[in-house]
Amino acid sequence: MYYLTKRIEISGSHRLDLPYDSKCTRTHGHNWIITVHCRAKELTPYGMVTDFTHIKTQITETLDHQNFNEVLDFNPTAENIARWICELVPNCYRVDVQESEGNIATYETD
C-alpha cells in the first residue's frame, strides 16, 4: 500500500447555522490547516497515488480566501468540510481540518 499526506494552509471565513446561541453564528475567519491523507494499492502509470498539485488545486480553488457559506451548500463546520474534501480528492481516506489551535476535526472513510 502506498500512502501520501498533503498539508495545505488556507484562509477563509464562515458562520455556523446552530440551534443555540453561539458566537460562531456570526461570520468569522480562520487560517485553516487541512491535512489530506491518500492511499492506493497501485500507483498511477506516472508513479503517483494522487498528484500533490491536484489536491492543493481542488481545495484552494474553492475555499482559499472565500466565505465558505457562499461556496459550499452545507453548514460549513470543520467536520462537514473534512467529509467534503475526502469525497472530492481521489484516493483520499482521511482529512484533518484544523480551524484554530487545539480545534481539529477528522473525517475518515470506513
Strand order in the sheet with 66-67: 66-67, 2-14, 28-40, 92-100, 103-108
* Domain chopping of the chain, boundaries: 2-14+30-108
Q: How far apart (Å, rounded) are the C-alpha atoms in residues 98 and 7?
A: 11
Cα 6 to chain centroid distance, Å, stands at 11
Domain 2-14+30-108 coded CATH 3.30.479.10: yes
Give the chain's mean pLDDT: 97
pLDDT tens for each residue of 75-90:
999 999 999 999 999 9
pLDDT of residue 47: 97
Position 46 pLDDT exceeds 90 = yes
pLDDT tens for each residue of 57-70:
999 999 999 999 99
Position 110 pLDDT exceeds 90 = no
Which residues are within 8 A (CB) of 34 and not within 5 positions of it... i.e. 6 or more apart?
A: 7, 8, 9, 10, 59, 81, 85, 95, 96, 97, 98
Contact 85, 109 (CB under 8 A): no
pLDDT of residue 86: 98
